[in-house]
Amino acid sequence: MGFSEAQFTATINRINSGMEDLGHKIGEVPRAANEAVDRWYLPGFVNPSR
């Protein structure tokens, strides 16, 4: 099996797309974490911003 520049480029594009998706998901973590601890039934020490 020889080297295929088109296959290499497609693979790199797929990796970059996956990294971009991962970056977006990681960016959602702080908001989701804040929403999870911002509940009336959790004591204040869990969310010290209250």
- Rounded distance between C-alpha atoms, residue 2 and residue 9, angstroms: 15
Residue 50: pLDDT above 60? no
Confidence band, pLDDT 50/70/90 cuts, at residue 7: very high
pLDDT score, position 38:
78
The pTM score is 0.59
pLDDT score, position 49:
64
| Cα diameter, the chain | 62
pLDDT score, position 6:
94
- Rounded distance between C-alpha atoms, residue 44 and residue 30, angstroms: 18
Q: Which residues contact 50 (CB under 8 A, 6 or more apart)?
A: 38, 44
Q: Do 14 and 6 form a contact (C-beta atoms < 8 A)?
A: no
pLDDT score, position 21:
97
